Chain A
Amino acid sequence: MEIQERLDRLSAQMEFLVERQEKREETFDELSPLLREVMAVATGKLDDIEKRGWLKSIAALGEVAARVLDHYTADDVRALGEAIVSILDTVKALTQPEVLAIVGEAGEGLQHADEARPIGLFGMARASRNQDVKKGMAVLMELLRHVGRAAHAVAEKDGAKADRKTRLAATLGPRKKKALGIERTRVPRLPPHEPEKPKTNGHASTVIDGISFTADGHLADASQWTRALAENIATREGVALTAEHWRLVEAARNDFLQNKAAANIRKLTQISGLPTKEIYALFPKAPGRTIAKIAGTPKPVGCI
């Protein structure tokens, strides 16, 4: 009885599983055309993105991240994360138009620093009569006052943590110096941007007597073929053409004109009626390719 109950329960379970399996199949059937659509769109979009060089930029960003990792520990980065708001605030404050104008002007002054002549105490007194310098000193004093106030606040707040801070500073010191470029260090360089290679597809050509040949020695333009040219190519291939040779060459030529594809050895045996052994007796070295060259056809591809 108990077994029967169990079997019942089991079969119910099985039914449920089968049903679920069917549902899954259905879902897949419904989803697959959609998936295909998504793939098609994604392929197009990504191709565009790749062509614009975005992916290379992302890869370069990865390199930058790697460089950051070389210089900072996880603790540093975490600390940076905590400080990010105040960093951004600072950056924002520093990039207000008024501030930028002042900094820009100051930068101007620094650019001409080499022209400034050294001055002594009297010189300073004389310069302080200039209106611009007076204003500058006022700004500097204001700045100093802010720095001083902030320093006080920090000293009071971090009094307890002082110990840890000095320890941290001691460990971070050299690393930060490295990062700031004060201490020179070997920085992993980005791989050079390689220029795109031209597409060859194996058709880089050489020109002999005004006739172009592909890189693998086949006539570039099959319609340029003449019997005289065939004789020339044969000589270059080290074959003296007899009537027997010509039978094969002509068979290969005609087959090519008919089928638009170069015959390989097996095809040559079929169209010429000559067994492979005899073809090799006539053209001992790579007969398929040699005959194709002489008959002015492309290289026979092994059906691939």
Chain B
Amino acid sequence: MKRILILGAGTAGTMMANKLVRALPEWRITVVDRDDVHVYQPGLLFLPFGAYREDELLKPRRKLLDARVEVRLQEIDRVAPDEKRVYLAGGEKLDYEILIVATGSRILPEATSGLTGAGWKESAFDFYTLEGALALRNRLASFEGGRLVVNVVDMPIKCPVAPLEFLFLADAYFQKRGIRDKVELAYATPLDGAFTKPRASATLGDLLKQRNIEVIPDYLASDVDGERRILKAYDGREVNYDLLVTVPLHGGSETITRSQMGDGGGWLPTHKHTLQSLKWPSVFALGDATDLPSSKAGAVAHFQSEVLFGNLLRFISGRPLEAEFDGHTNCFIETGHGKAMLIDFNYETEPLPGRFPLPGIGPFTLLEESATNHWGKLAFKWVYWNLLVAGKELPLDHRMLLAGKWS
């Protein structure tokens, strides 16, 4: 039996495995991951503010995978793409016909000098890991005032709007606790504004200003002095903090680097539109693991999975691949106080105002705050567990449509 081997059972790997196992009964679909805990990553943002309990965000990977999918819970030693073989840490060798790299991304706080030294998990936290988000929850609960700085070390990061959402939610959280006037909120970002794309940047920048959140642009953090609680930048600027919420440098999986398949950041060089590896025709990539200039987010993995699914079927039957992936991304941006914004964009088109998905009706509002968007974001957890990772078809086009957008 020929094998499609999927590395990683996160959002991307799980939904791909479930889609493929239903469509290709004559193929063996095998998934490898190091553990059996699937984290609902969008929920990590809410965890520090006590909006979710941790057990709501965790499910066993096996339960989310179709029973027909073969699962190996093991570390991967290395991939040998020229031999079409993957060596597992336990010594097992898995031969494959097609390899799908869905190894995701990870945070590298130790890459910023001093960040994980003095004060780590005391006055400096991340919220991109379960442990980080939980530690931050405890610290926030006892925070009685001072200067809270959110810093993005460098792009790319998972869910590029998450740092902004964190600030909006923090603003609402401190207001609710009645100590907003005792808290200074600041955002130090390597970008030249709130966001990369001009119109969204302007809109989000306005929202930050309205909420009295200081933006420190072009700030490329070089190191952290945890004892004196100072964040330093390469250009010599210094930012002091009482509580630092860092979005550390991101990198691809160690497996990819170890197998010498990645670029300098550990990302797999991937064709921007077909999702095939630029070097090995039988290797494809999905989700955060790619080096594509699209967002590293679950929605992207979903849109990519539809393109990849079609391309794999073409690949198997020897037909040419179709270059369909357009960089489509959409995400809800929590803005606090029961409201959220929605943005929908791709490689070429920046986020525009309008209605989504039905033109003129919505129910979601693009680039504009509304309560419906917030409900959408909360409902998404159910959609994620029951439809998205299950690989069910969602009634959304994987291409970004200009319908319903006002230019």
Contact = CB atoms under 8 A, between A and B. Distances in A.
Interface in B323-360: 329, 349-350, 357-360
Contacts of B296: 303
A302 B191 contact: yes
Nearest to B189: A302
Contacts of B293: 261, 301, 303-304
B401 A302 contact: no
A85 B199 CA distance: 53
A224 interface: no
Contacts of A55: 360-361
Given A264-B155, A270-B264, A302-B155, A285 B235 contact: yes
Chain A residues touching B, majority SS: helix
B190 A32 contact: no
B105 to A, nearest CB: 11
Contacts of A266: 154, 264-265
Nearest to B296: A303
Nearest to B234: A280
Contacts of A261: 293
Contacts of A197: 407
B395 A276 contact: no
Contacts of B395: 32, 35-36, 38-39
Given A49-B359, A55-B360, A277 B403 contact: no
Interface in B281-308: 293-296
Interface stretch (A40-48, A155-163, A240-248): A40-48
A43 B218 contact: no
Nearest to B202: A202
A277 B222 contact: yes
A304 B407 contact: no
Contacts, number: 114
B358 A43 contact: yes
Interface in B385-407: 392-397, 401, 403-404, 406-407
A166 interface: no
Interface in B232-284: 234-236, 264-265
Contacts of B329: 304
Contacts of B218: 285-286, 289
Contacts of B360: 46-47, 49-50, 55
B403 A44 contact: yes
Nearest to A38: B395
B216 to A, nearest CB: 13
Contacts of A47: 359-360, 401, 403-404
Contacts of B394: 32, 36
Nearest to A34: B395
Interface residues of A, number: 43
Interface string B202-240: 000000000000000010101000000000001110000
Contacts of A265: 154, 190, 220
A180 B218 CA distance: 61
Contacts of B156: 302-304
Interface in A11-48: 28-29, 32-33, 35-36, 38-40, 42-44, 46-47
Nearest to B200: A304
A43 B350 contact: no
Given A47-B403, A266-B265, A304-B197, A277 B359 contact: no
Contacts of A303: 155-156, 293-294, 296
Contact of B392 (A29, A267, A286): A29
B192 interface: yes
A284 interface: yes
Contact of B196 (A39, A40, A201, A302): A302
B198 interface: yes
B206 to A, nearest CB: 16
B192 A43 contact: no
B160 interface: yes
B264 A199 contact: no
Interface string A274-304: 0011011000111001000000000001111
Interface of A: 28-29, 32-33, 35-36, 38-40, 42-44, 46-47, 49-50, 55, 196-197, 199-202, 215-216, 261, 264-267, 270, 276-277, 279-280, 284-286, 289, 301-304
Given A50-B404, A201-B349, A261-B293, 14 more contacts: A32-B395, A33-B393, A36-B394, A38-B395, A39-B395, A46-B361, A55-B361, A199-B407, A202-B198, A216-B192, A267-B264, A276-B234, A280-B235, A286-B218
30 contacts: A32-B395, A33-B393, A35-B395, A36-B395, A39-B395, A42-B358, A44-B403, A46-B360, A46-B403, A47-B360, A47-B401, A47-B403, A197-B407, A199-B407, A261-B293, A264-B155, A266-B264, A267-B264, A276-B222, A280-B235, A284-B235, A286-B192, A286-B218, A289-B192, A302-B156, A303-B294, A304-B195, A304-B196, A304-B293, A304-B295
